[in-house]
Amino acid sequence: MHIVVCVKQVPDTKIIKINPKTNTLDRRSAPAILNPYDAHAVQEAVKIRAKTGGSISVLSMGPPQATAVIKKSIEIGADRGYLLTDRAFAGADTLATSYALSKALERIEKDLPVDMVICGKHAIDGDTGQVGPGIARRMDIPPITSVIEVTEVNPQEKTVLLKRKLTSGYEFIKSEMPCLLTVEKEINEIDYSPMPNMIKAARYEPIIWTVNDLENVERTKLGLKGSPTIVGKMFTPPRPEGGKKLEGTTSQQVSQLMEILLEKKDLFTISKA
């Protein structure tokens, strides 16, 4: 059983500050972290490996300092990690990103066939969730998104039983392997890393690939050139109707608020029980 987990380095949106003048993010204010959903993806791979045996590779694309998220993944329990780093990949949207990652997966697969790919639900900086299914399509394996439980993995029969989140409820899916999962946060709790993992991570040197390490790459499909979407303009959205502060004593504030709420008659109706 060989699982590849795709991970991304993102700025920590919990800590990041906004420049009040430009209304944009002050990226320097935020430490770069392993995308939280991807941490759960690595953790899930560790859980699966504990039952089936095998190994876990992690794959990332980003600037050279993104090796940090590979080390973090090793700490959680991955066996090895690859970083795709090259200016040719820069400026990629989701289509170009899934292309580059699928090319790297092709190369990984040459050494060791891949049974499962796991991605986080989405990255907290781009927030699209489009790269996972994109990779699956390019590899021609089924994508199963919004997975909240890996119920059973059967490496002999090459099948997996999954629980997938829906708009109102969930469903059980049986899929053939290889397949690609994208996982929600509630799929697991991140364990404390055992000491040997920490030591391994500290010493670990990720495998670094540039575009020249990939085979049969169409360069026009990479980076900015390979990205059909572009940002047209940025603008400040219209503010909601007021931002009005209610003044007075607590009870005055509360009665003003009641008036506002009850004015929305379609919302608060007093109906006889």
Partner 1 sequence: MNFDDYCGVWVFIEQNDGKIEGVSLELLGAGRSLADKLQVPLSGFILGDGIRSLASQVIAYGADQVYVIDHPVLKHYRTESYMKGVIHLAQNYKPEIILYGATPNGKDLASAVATDLNTGLTADTTMLDVDVDKRLLEASRPAFGGNIMATILCKKHRPQMATVRPKVMKALAPDSGRNGKVIEENISLKEEEMRTKVLQIVNDVTKKTNLADAHVIVCGGKGMGDLQNFQLIHELAETIGASVGGTRDVVEAGWLPHEQQVGQTGETVTPKIYFAIGISGAIQHVVGMKNSELIIAINKDPNAPIFDVATYGIVGDAMEIVPALIEQFKSLRTEKGGEVSYV
Pairing state between β 2-7 and 116-120: parallel
| Amino acid code (one letter) for 180 | L
Site for partner 1 in 245-264 (CB under 8 A): 245-246, 250-251, 253-255, 257-258, 260-261, 264
Residue with Cβ nearer partner 1 (171 or 191): 171
How far apart are CB 122 and partner 1 at their closest, in Å?
8
| Amino acid code (one letter) for 253 | Q
Tell me, residue by residue from 84 to 103, as one string, x for binding to partner 1 by CB under 8 A and - for no binding. Answer: ---------xxx--x-----
Chain-centroid distance of CA 267 in Å reads: 37
Among 80, 107, 185, 200, binds partner 1 (CB under 8 A): 185
174 near partner 1, rule: CB under 8 A: yes
Helix, strand, or coil (residue 1): coil
Single out the segment in contact with partner 1 by CB under 8 A; choices: 44-52, 62-70, 75-83, 137-145: 137-145
Residue with Cβ nearer partner 1 (72 or 164): 164
The C-alpha atoms of residue 100 and residue 106 are separated, in whole angstroms, by 10
18 near partner 1, rule: CB under 8 A: yes
How far apart are CB 209 and partner 1 at their closest, in Å?
22
Nearby residues of 32 by Cβ (< 8 Å), 6 or more positions away: 9, 10, 11, 12, 65, 66, 68, 69
How far apart are CB 256 and partner 1 at their closest, in Å?
8
Report CA torsion sign: 210, 214, 218, 223.
negative
